[in-house]
């Protein structure tokens, strides 16, 4: 992620009241990961896989935190079962931020299959989502998604694509 996108994500997280962030270290989030790890406004918990990240965020929510899970595109597949058995079953909110690899314009051939799985999986899980491609739309999308996840008591996702992940 470029600095403008990282700034927009951090701004949106802070404006929305997110104070707990978990992620599995990933190259798409490396700059953002470094930034939130050093930011005193966030409790930052790196995890060894995305399923653990879902569980850690559920525990954080139940202890009074407002969590977000930064999950790589491929990691959404790993997170599907705990999203279903924890968040969906127990009506626990969770903001998901996902770099949407494989979307139109992503020239890395290996990411193509994620276009075939990301949105269909979110639909199967009944996770509302927004696809954001412009840096100037990121902060508002995060604020809106966080408000929705709290109101609806269910996971809500923001898929970052286009200039947001260049």
Q: Domains of the chain by range and CATH? A: 3-164 (3.40.50.970)
Please state the pTM of the whole predicted model. Answer: 0.94
Closest CA to 32 of 48, 10, 50: 10
Q: Is the pLDDT of residue 108 over 90?
A: no
Provide the 3-class DSSP secondary structure of residue 103: coil
Give the three-class secondary structure for 34. Answer: helix
Q: Across all residues in the chain, what is the average pLDDT?
A: 93
The residue assigned the tokens 């990282």 is 6
Rounded to whole angstroms, the Cα distance separating 136 from 134 reads 5
Kindly tell me the burial class for residue 119, based on how many C-beta atoms sit within 10 Å of its own C-beta (0-12, 13-18, 19 or more): middle
Q: Is the pLDDT assigned to residue 1 strictly greater than 90?
A: no
Beta bridge partners of 96: 69, 157
- Distances in Å between the Cα of 57 and the Cα atoms of 21, 35, 82, 83, 87 are 8, 19, 11, 11, 10
At 109 the pLDDT is 66
Structure confidence by residue, pLDDT tens digits, 19-49? 999 998 887 788 999 999 999 999 999 999 9
74 pLDDT more than 80: yes
Q: Give per-residue pLDDT as tens, 89-103.
A: 999 999 999 988 877
Give me the pLDDT at residue 112, please: 66
CA distance 124 to 24: 23
Nearest to 118 by CA among 166, 163, 160: 160
């Amino acid at each position: 992620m470029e600095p403008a996108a990282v700034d927009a994500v951090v701004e949106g997280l802070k404006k929305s009241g997110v104070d707990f962030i978990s992620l599995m270290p990933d190259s798409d989030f490396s700059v953002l990961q470094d930034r939130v790890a050093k930011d005193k406004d966030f409790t930052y918990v790196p995890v060894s896989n995305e399923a653990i990240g879902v569980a850690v965020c559920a525990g954080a929510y139940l202890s009074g935190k407002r969590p977000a899970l930064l999950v790589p595109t491929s990691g959404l597949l790993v997170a599907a079962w705990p999203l279903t058995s924890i968040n969906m079953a127990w009506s626990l909110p969770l903001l998901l931020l996902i770099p949407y690899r494989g979307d139109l314009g992503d020239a890395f051939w290996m990411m193509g299959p994620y276009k075939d799985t990301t949105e269909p999986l979110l639909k199967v899980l009944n996770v509302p989502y927004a696809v954001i491609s412009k840096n100037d739309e990121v902060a508002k999308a995060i604020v809106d998604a966080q408000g929705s996840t709290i109101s609806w008591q269910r996971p809500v996702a923001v898929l970052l694509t286009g200039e947001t992940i260049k």
